[in-house]
Structure 1
Amino acid sequence: MKHRVTMRFTTRQGNSYLYDDVTSMIFPWSGMLENILKLLETTETAQLLANIPEEYAAEEWIDKVHWVDYWKNNLGAFYREEWKDSPLSYDNFEAELGANLTNQLILSVTDDCNLRCKYCIYSDEYALTKNKTCNYMSTDTAQKAIDYFHKLIAPQLARNPRKKFGITFYGGEPLVNFTTVKYAVEYAREKLGDKVYFMMTSNGLLLTDEVVNYLKMHDVGLAISIDGPEQEHDRLRVTVGGGGSFARIKKNVDRIREKHPEYYRTRVNAVCVYDFLTDVEQTEQFFEDGERDTTVPRAIFVNRVSDTNSCYYQKFSKEDIQQYHDREKRLRDKYFSQKTCGCSSSSYLTSLIGSSALSIITRRRALDGKPAYMPATGSCVPGQKLCVNSNGVIDICERVNGTNPIGDVHAGLHTDRVIQMVSNFRENIAASCDKCPGQKLCGLCFVNFETEGAFRKQKEICANHLNVMRNNLSLYTSICEDKPDAEFIFSSDTIELDQPLTTF
């Protein structure tokens, strides 16, 4: 049985379009085309051509019927077949994964941190995530993780000598365990040579001259958490004693800029978090001004505080939420204006609003595939990234709550656990995704639906995400209507790892 998988939307200029999730095409749309497509569900093409409605001109009707018929019956547009079950069950899953998909190792080198950010995913605000501890990854655990990663990706290393693989340092605050970071960098370089691309996410407090010199010498990309100007940053990113952290971080950033200008320009970035009290307009202006005089690193990620398994958002009033949406709308207008006049946008605006356009630009096309057992949602294949915790347990990534591990550094991936996880996700989350009109635009993944040890469908999440998709389609298409040659430039700290998804 086939299901129609299209979304209608309107641009700012008032024009109507149809997004088709089978071909990923965006079509100018009209009442006539909609009428024809619906009639073709029950009526033969020849009959439609022979019976022209009085309200339509004959030539236009015939032309449109042929057009819709061609896309529907020759190119398979507008309707998708129900999926056939394709369970993950091969014995050599681990080898196949490493040979094709695995590309990043995340070392969560400590659960400890020298800040107490009020939105921290490892705080009491989140029911299922671990809390801060004094656990530190040993050099032995880091070595075992790198050895396993190297073994897993060996076929790719042999097949593609130009490919880069990522190793990311995460926490807690990774620099409180700088000993293991240094050991891992040098050991990984010994094992992987120039095939490894290092990255680190840090709160910036421990960026001493010694640390920065080391990171620069080993070409470690540095993403520093900066949530905005001082008042905005210090509202949530506080020290153990409750004081602000902005001044100390800014002092360290300024020193990097002055002593290592090339490293600062090419390898130092900012990551930002916001909630409904964030003045995103003021923060965007802060980054726009700071990028102009290079006093603030470019923002490569701007993410909202997570609401998964959390009571964090219960503290905001309707007025708070409305004020945030008003600010966001004005920033969308600003981004639209800049794109249509050919002006550049700040990195913060590009990440916060421009990511809407990016999700459309990078959508999967008709022939872009995912593994048959994982055909929908934005979920990766478990094991595509390996996130090793301080105790050596392997998670899907750094964002999950930790109750769904997929292996450990001693035994590697637990294939039976991965098969169970994928089966659970397909049964409880992805079972109806073949009917979704936004499957190829979907950015939802395991973390959006995880509960303790399993995954649970939440219809409101999908409904909200579909509304986001429509808004994204509208923004992107509106820009293209006004300026077909508009430039969309995006960057990330993993740009060298970006690659088409290979199926096997």
Structure 2
Amino acid sequence: MTPGRYGDAGRPAPFRQVLLKIHSRCNLSCDHCYMYQHADQSWRHRPFVMSKRTLDHTAARIADHAIEHDLRSVAVILHGGEPLLAGAHTIDYAVRAIKRAVGDRAEVRFGLQTNGLLLDERFLDLFAQHEIGVGVSLDGPSDDNDRHRRYADGRGSHDGVVPALHLLRNERYRHLYGGILCTVDLASDPEGVYAHLLDFEPPEIDFLLPHGNWTKPPPGRVDDPIATPYADWLITVFDRWYRAPERRTRIRLFESIMALLLGGRSGTEAVGLSKIDLITVETDGAIEQGDALKTTEEGMAATGLHVARDSFDRALAHPAIASRQSGLTGLCATCRDCPAVAVCGGGLYAHRYRIDNGFDNPSVYCADLLAMIRHIAVTMSADLNSTLV
């Protein structure tokens, strides 16, 4: 057995990623949003914009954690809600405060995830100044994207996002282009969605399974527990992506599964047994776990900690975070006995939830994950064998 392959508990892994909620509201009303459409409604009681005081406290916590654990680099993701609603001044202040606090002790890499509707040259010039990478959310052509990503009055958002993606394709800003985030919708044609996203020449596409669990299953996972509709959708995209004569766009989920099959590491918490190294800071300064937990029940992401009084090391000691860093031992018996566990890793933590026993379950996408992993493994094996003939 390769040491560490199964995510041995050992010493806690420090946080190398900080999700910074600089704005708690959004200019869209997407019906699949984990922030506003699921169990946890704590956003209603939080300030719209993160204050300078809270930003300063957060910057100090990031710096202290980097020094304490001798981190070479830290990633800070500016997030929301819609982070651009915070305005250029807040974004500029946040980046400067963090850079000032960390100094030359570690490299700080900044990213921002946006729906793209407010993204313009003014923002992009600021992002170029601070080297902030930009990810944009888009679920495919207008009919597919606008099925879920809509304004509160029902208007679709697709046509408002397209100009932002064209700006990022421009040579002036291309170095900031992080990629496109796309939530899988079974009602959409996978080939049509993939082809449309490629039109914008993203360096990376991140396909996300819609959030759901055993208590509140995602669409298509209710009637037949052994069916694999999400695997079928993603395999269609994988086959086209894998067989492309020139592969210019990375797909994080596929590349992570391939790396894990070869004994490497995952680039996403959706698969693999790597220790979760992400922490969230809300607009009010609350230190929380990953946002996906907001889809399970009220307060599940909370830790009771705050940047004004608590270090990130206190968060590392929190029982829920310790459990998420426990690797194989933190999985249910079904997962531990599965031959694909080193690759699947039990799937995304939030997707294992059931109201009667918490997270002691396989992923609600278990059948899909297994089918997808097997398909990728068979495809890779056939290619590897052919090179030896």
TM-score range, shorter chain: 0.7 to 0.9
* 1:287 maps to 2:184: no
- The alignment status of 1:229 with 2:141, answered yes or no, reads yes
Identity among equivalent pairs (%): 20
Q: Give the number of the structure whose residues are more often helix, by fraction.
A: 1
How far residue 177 of structure 1 moved from its aligned partner, in angstroms, is 1.2
Q: TM-score, length-normalised on structure 1?
A: 0.62
Q: Which residue, out of 214, 238, 263, partners 2:150?
A: 238
Amino acid at match of 1:337: R
Q: CA 1:251–1:330 in 2, change beyond 3 Å: closer, same or farther?
A: closer
Q: Secondary structure at the match of 1:167?
A: strand
1:457 counterpart residue number: 360
SS at match of 2:208: strand
Structure 2: distance between partners of 1:335 and 1:345: 7
Q: Quick one: distance in 2 between partners of 1:182 and 1:306?
A: 32
Aligned position for 1:276: 186
- 2:120 corresponds to 1:120: no
Which of 380, 384, 401 aligns to 2:275? It is 380
1-side partners of 2:15 and 2:73: how far apart? 11
CA distance in 2, matches of 1:323, 1:153: 42
Equivalent residues in 2 for 1:364-443 (5 A)? 378=273, 380-381=275-276, 384-401=277-294, 402-406=299-303, 407-409=305-307, 410-413=309-312, 414=314, 418-419=318-319, 422=322, 429-430=330-331, 432=333, 435-443=337-345
Q: In structure 1, what is the equivalent of residue 210 of structure 2?
A: 305
Q: Which residue of 2 aligns with 1:494?
A: none
Say whether residues 1:186 and 2:186 are aligned partners.
Answer: no
CA drift of 1:316 comes to 8.6
Partner of residue 115, structure 2: 203
Structure 1 counterpart of 2:349 = 446
Which whole-Å deviations, capped at 9, do the CAs of 1:8-64 have from their partners, x for residues lacking one? xxxxxxxxxxxxxx359xxxxxxxxxxxxxxxxxxxxxxxxxxxxxxxxxxxxxxxx
- Alignment partners' CA distance in 1, 2:228 and 2:265: 33
Specify the code of the residue in structure 2 equivalent to 1:472: I
- What SS is found at the alignment partner of 1:210? helix
User: Is 275-284 or 324-333 further displaced after alignment?
Assistant: 324-333
Which range moves more in the overlay, 127-136 or 228-237? 127-136
Report the Cα offset of residue 428 of structure 1: 9.2
Equivalent in the alignment of 2:24: 111
Say whether the 8 Å CA contact 1:429–1:455 is kept in structure 2: no
Offset of residue 446 of structure 1: 3.1
Instruction: Give the superposition deviation at 1:131.
Output: 5.2
Count of aligned pairs between the two proteins: 365
Residue type of the alignment partner of 2:358: F
**Which amino acid is 1:378 matched to?**
L
| Partner secondary structure for residue 287 of structure 2 | strand
Question: What is the CA-CA distance between 1:203 and the residue it aligns to?
Answer: 0.6
Q: What letter corresponds to residue 359 of structure 1 in structure 2? A: L
TM-score normalised per structure 2:
0.78
CA separation of 1:421/1:289 partners in 2, compared to 1, >3 Å: closer, same or farther? closer
What is the rounded CA distance, in whole Å, between the counterparts of 1:424 and 1:193 in structure 2? 30
Instruction: Give the direction of change, closer, same or farther, for the CA distance of 1:156–1:484 in structure 2 (3 Å limit).
Output: farther
Displacement after TM superposition at 1:411 (Å):
1.9
Shift of 1:387: 0.8
Q: Distance in 1 between matches of 2:179 and 2:316?
A: 39
Preserved contact between residue 177 and residue 203 of structure 2 (Cα < 8 Å) = no
SS at 2:383's partner residue?
helix
Would you say the 8 A contact 1:360–1:441 is kept in 2?
yes
Report the 3-state secondary structure (helix = DSSP H, G, I; strand = E; otherwise coil) of the residue aligned with 2:109.
strand
Alpha-carbon distance in 2 for matches of 1:253, 1:469? 31
Match for 1:207: what amino acid? Answer: L
**How far apart in 2 are the matches of 1:317 and 1:289?**
35
Equivalent residue, structure 2, for 1:47: none
> SS of the residue aligned with 1:123?
coil
The higher radius of gyration belongs to: 1
**Deviation at residue 390 of structure 1 after TM alignment:** 1.4
Q: 1:206 to 1:454 in 2, by over 3 A?
A: farther
Code of the residue aligned with 1:176 in structure 2: it is: L
Kindly state the Cα deviation for residue 472 of structure 1 after the two structures are TM-superposed.
3.1
Could you say what secondary structure the match of 2:66 adopts? helix
Alignment of 1:337-348 (within 5 A): 337-338=243-244, 343-345=245-247, 347=249
Task: For 1:477 and 1:156, locate their aligned partners in 2 and report how far apart those are by CA, in whole Å.
Answer: 39
Q: d(CA) in 2 for partners of 1:144 and 1:322? A: 46
Which residue of the partner structure matches residue 79 of structure 2? 170
CA distance change for structure 1 residues 352 and 286 in 2, over 3 Å: closer, same or farther?
A: farther
